[in-house]
Amino acid sequence: MKRSMRWAVGLICAVGLAAGAGYWLGTRSGQASESAMKTPADGGAAQRKLLYYRNPMGLPDTSPVPKKDSMGMDYIAVYEGEEDAGSTGGAPRVSISTEKVQKLGVRTEVASLRVLDRLVRAAGRVEPDERRVYAIAPKFEGYIERLYVNVTGQRVDKGQPLFEVYSPELVSAQREYALAIEGVQAMKDADSTASGGMRQLAESSLARLKNWDISDAQVKALARSGETKRTLTFRSPASGIVTDKKALQGMRFMPGETLYQVTDLSSVWIIADVFEQDIGLVKRGGRARVTVNAYPGKVFEGRITYVYPTLAAETRTVPVRIELANPGMLLKPAMFAEVELAVDGQAQVLAIPQSAVIDSGTRRIVLVQAGEGRFEPREVRLGGRDAYYVEVLDGIEAGEPVVVAANFLIDAESNLKAAVGSMAGQGHSAADTLPRASGAGHLASGTIDGLDPETGMVSVNHGPVASLQWPAMTMEFKVANAALLNGLKPGAAVTIEFVERQPGEWVITRIMPAAGESLRPESHSGH
């Protein structure tokens, strides 16, 4: 009995001690928890204050606690000082999670002062120097007795025999001149009237031969010997290439008929077609760099010698003539050429990479990085440009970082359209503010053939894509964000913008309804 009493007393003591320990531990835990909760408030100056979590797609939806949207994307934490300035009357901003920024491959570059070596690019073609083209066209009627140069493209030297001709008129004129010379010799002791008449006859005969392009050497040989030649040899007036030959052995020709054309190609012209908006920058004497597909990496340098006073209405271009040497005859007439006309910059200007500009045709937008994962769209006014950079006249300041890569993907992953649409100076729709096709994007119009929201794939029966030289076809695309498929239905007429994320992988970054169409099913409320 005593043993039972001792056991009961021991059990009661043990329960009491356990309860006391539990109370003590609970009190300590509560104090620790309360201390942890107070730490951010007490140390508020050193830590950021969490305000709320916002929708990752820019929708007007916030949450006081972490959550996911309907597509499984995490809501983004917004801390004090990071509120969307657009809601407080400041500049509108878009925000993307740091993880998403890294996945998109966003790169920035600081706007800085630089001298722009501006270049005007134009397409051109090689043409012969018109002052170095020679036509051989006898001024009398005759027959070709012999050809010395009988193929087109043959190279000839100045004075080289081309062909021999026979002409009854030529033989008669030679005989007349020879008789006149003999008469002058015979009547040199006669009275002045007779000798003067004979000299006039000899001079007129000589002038007739010279008018027929008989060389001085041939005339002197005729005067010395008095022997008329049955044929006359025509020689090349310059060194060059026979670019046209109509002469045939034994053919009859008429006065003024071109039998040969010889072209000196040691110097050629490049006729460049410069667009109307660039012609004011092009000046006579400016430097020019010319490349042709036949010789990759080889650059020909020349000078601008003439800006033509006419404009081609069909292409809105003005011809510009460039003269350059042609060593080795590498440049052939009718070759296509790519021309760069240098327009030297005068002073340093604020410039950014051309890839930073989103150009809609009516507005030009630049994304300025306002913080980690935050971007502020700015409308800018642009000036001149060179091969890689463009001058900024208004809209950003030196030292501000601008997005130079993945601008179009930021558009697909954020509420950029809404932010741009709310910018000051409205009057442009959100669709107006964004490009018809981003720098790396392509546009296609067609109809939705099928879609799979689970895999993010959509089949589009689209028309030709000019930027890729694609014909009309049906092909599958992946969407950059599954939300792009919301409301889509097979048969919907759409215009899509897509990019090549990696070789063979085509990703849609934007889906727009065709004119007069809707992507979403019609609502029949009340029925």
- Do 217 and 184 sit in the same domain of this protein? yes
What's the whole-number average pLDDT of the chain?
77
Question: Which residues constitute the domain of residue 335?
Answer: 265-269+276-342
- Judge whether 488 lies within some domain: yes
Q: How far apart are CA 151 and CA 165, in angstroms?
A: 18
409 pLDDT band, cuts 50/70/90, is: low
Task: Give me the percent of the chain exceeding a pLDDT of 90.
Answer: 27
* pLDDT higher than threshold 50 for residue 102: yes
* Residue 109 and residue 58 share a domain: no
pLDDT exceeds 90 at position 127: yes
Residues 189, 153, single domain; the answer is: yes
Looking at 433, 459, 492, the residue that finishes a domain is 433
- What integer is the mean pLDDT of 286-310? 93
- Render pLDDT for 481-509 as a digit per residue (tens, 0 to 9): 877 888 888 888 888 888 877 777 888 88
Q: 397 and 454: one domain?
A: no
Q: What number is the average pLDDT over the span 20-45?
A: 42
Output the six-digit token pair for 375.
Answer: 């971007």
CATH value at residue 427: 2.40.420.20
**pLDDT above 70: percentage of residues in the chain:** 73
Same domain, 78 and 177: no
324 lies in some domain: yes
pLDDT at 360 (0 to 100)? 67
User: Pick from 292, 310, 342: which residue ends a domain?
Assistant: 342
**Integer Rg of the chain from CA:** 44
* CA distances (Å), origin 129, targets 186, 235, 433: 51, 21, 48
10 found inside a domain: no
Q: Read off φ and ψ for residue 232, nearest 5 degrees.
A: -125, 135
What the block records as the tokens of 386 is 């060179």
- Can you read off the two tokens belonging to residue 12? 């009661």
416 found inside a domain: yes
Same structural domain, 150 and 237: yes
285 and 217: one domain? no
Instruction: Convert 91-160 into a string of H (helix), E (strand) and C (coil).
Output: CCCEECCHHHHHHHCCEEEECEEEECCEEEEEEEEEEECHHHEEEECCCCCEEEEEECCCCCCCEECCCC
Structural domains of the chain, count:
5
**From CA 208, how far away is CA 224, in angstroms rounded?**
18
Rounded to whole angstroms, the Cα distance separating 512 from 500 reads 19
pLDDT at 361: 65
Name the amino acid, one letter, at 497: E
Based on the fold, state whether residues 365 and 412 are members of the same structural domain: yes
Q: Read off the pLDDT band of 421 (50, 70, 90).
A: low
Question: So what's the pLDDT on residue 62?
Answer: 78
Question: Is 71 inside any structural domain?
Answer: yes
Residues making up the chain, counted from first to last: 527
| Mean pLDDT, rounded, for 211-234 | 75
Model confidence at 22, pLDDT cuts 50, 70, 90, reads very low
- Residues 291 and 293: their CA atoms lie apart, in Å, by 7
Residues 216 and 316 occupy one common structural domain? no
- Please report, for the domain that includes residue 204, its CATH number: 2.40.50.100
Q: How far apart are CA 302 and CA 316, in angstroms?
A: 24
Structure-token pair, residue 177? 């001149």
CATH at residue 468: 2.40.50.320
Answer whether 173's CB lies under 8 Å from 141's CB: no
**Domain end position, chosen among 433, 468, 485:** 433
pLDDT of residue 87: 41
Q: Which of the 8 DSSP states describes residue 215?
A: -
Q: Assess whether 463 and 481 both reside in one domain.
A: yes
pLDDT at 425 over 50: no
In a shared domain, residues 382 and 283: no
The DSSP code for 298 is: -
389 or 436, which is more confident: 389
Closest CA to 407 of 107, 95, 73, 110: 107
Local confidence band at 14 (pLDDT 50, 70, 90 cut-offs): very low
Q: Say yes or no: 108 and 152 in one domain.
A: no
